[in-house]
Amino acid sequence: MKFIINSQTLLRKLQSLSGVLNSSNTLPILDDFMFELTDTALNITATDLETTMVISLEPSMLEEPGSITIPAKLLLDFLKYLPDVPLTFSIDLALQAVEIVSSDGKYHLTGHNAEDYPKLPELTETARIEMPSDLLAAGINKTVFATGNDELRPAMGGVFFELTPDYLTFVATDAHKLVRYRRTDAKAEDSASFIVPRKPLNVLKNLLATDIAQVTVEYNVTNAAFEFQNVRLYCRLIEGKYPAYEAVIPRDNQNHLTVDRQVFINAVKRLSPFANQSTHQIRLRISGQELVMTAEDIDYSNEGSERLNCTYDGEDMEIGFNSKFVLDMVTNLESDEICFNLAGPTRAGIILPVNNENKDEDILMLVMPVMLAQG
């Protein structure tokens, strides 16, 4: 088994694959990449059993097809410090011996038997949908941060994909915040829904940021596969029923606060260090056309306050939010102005973009208030 490949090309692909690997594994072979050489391509695989990703490369030379697994950390640490040079891999499959030759050096390491590596998932009785990679990337970016970590509610640990003949919806919630991102320019022939775990979506997000392509999403009741260009990512879906998210979205929040998005973001960032570091509470006091934002940590006598211009239609109100939650949300909106639709200091608030330029995009963010600290 022998092939020649550019060092930096290989490093970039392996770094993408490394997002799949766990830091600690019960099976030692899961610490490896699997290299499979065919007559036309080099396929490299990483898996943690729940998520599996395969990237295909075209070496400048290849001969004697075969497969072997190579320790991931050793290979990555080695490639990081190489200049951009061709590398010749010569592998003795009988001895599991790997020799790597560059223009200035020769390196030897021991691989492992590819027969012991987990097999690729086989998807049967699947349906599929195609969508542009930038649409999928937007759906992931605008929702994945809102997923939860509660082991007692595993369904909240992923993004809910809801496919219909009219639109595609991505939903994420951790019970404190919720994001619903809908696109009317992506549709499925038949209605379906499934929950994709956070980890494979974060891996996908990084890959989609650099590639513009059509993505084929294939799915059944237990697994999904995302395929584009030279990448195929498989993941096991989260079992269970997703919360009835539409039921928790308020429809009658009558108080509307409109504020410049970037001005608001900067104010929250400046005030956050003054907030209590366990609640991260920022207080919004709205009256007339004025918004006063304050943060304080009574234990350390820290306090900050800012006054912002705004447009407000509603009753005077004082409400508290977790600054981290609000910041995650508004930074993932793209309009110049944002609108808070509020009902009261103990009711969920809705955050919406104002004048969204993309007519095919509908995004709604919900955030629960935190009890106002007295002081």
- pLDDT, position 209: 73
Does the 2-116 domain belong in CATH 3.10.150.10?
Answer: yes
CA-CA distance, 132 to 208, in Å (whole number)? 10
Exposure string for 125-135, b = 16+ CB within 10 A, e = fewer: eeeebebbbeb
Residue written as tokens 């997923």? Answer: 147
Per-residue pLDDT for the chain (375 aa), expressed as one digit of tens each?
999 999 999 999 999 999 999 999 989 999 999 999 999 999 999 999 999 999 999 999 999 999 999 999 999 999 999 999 999 999 999 999 999 999 999 999 999 999 999 999 999 999 999 999 999 999 999 999 999 999 999 999 999 999 999 999 999 999 999 999 999 999 999 999 999 999 999 999 989 976 678 999 999 999 999 999 999 999 999 999 999 999 999 999 999 999 999 999 999 999 999 999 999 999 999 998 999 999 999 999 999 999 999 999 999 999 999 999 999 999 999 999 999 999 999 999 999 999 888 899 999 999 999 987 554
3-state SS class at 75: helix
- pLDDT, position 373: 58
Token pair recorded at residue 189: 């022939």
- pLDDT, position 211: 63
- pLDDT, position 180: 98
* Domain 249-367 top-level CATH class: alpha beta
Among candidate residues 66, 110, 81, 68, the one with its CA nearest the CA of residue 7: 81
- Give yes or no for a contact between 7 and 85, defined as CB atoms under 8 angstroms apart: yes
The alpha helices in 193-260, defined as continuous H runs, are 198-208, 245-248
- Give yes or no for a contact between 216 and 227, defined as CB atoms under 8 angstroms apart: yes
* Greatest Cα-to-Cα distance within the chain, rounded to the nearest angstrom: 79
DSSP string, 120-167: PP---S-EEEEEEHHHHHHHHHTTGGG----TT-GGGGEEEEEE-SS-
Residue type, 286: I
- Give yes or no for a contact between 193 and 240, defined as CB atoms under 8 angstroms apart: no
Among candidate residues 144, 136, 121, 148, the one with its CA nearest the CA of residue 219: 121
Same fold, 2-116 and 249-367: yes
Domain boundaries, the chain: 2-116, 127-247, 249-367
In the 8-state DSSP scheme, what is residue 305? E
Topology classification of domain 127-247 = DNA Polymerase III; Chain A, domain 2 (3.10.150)
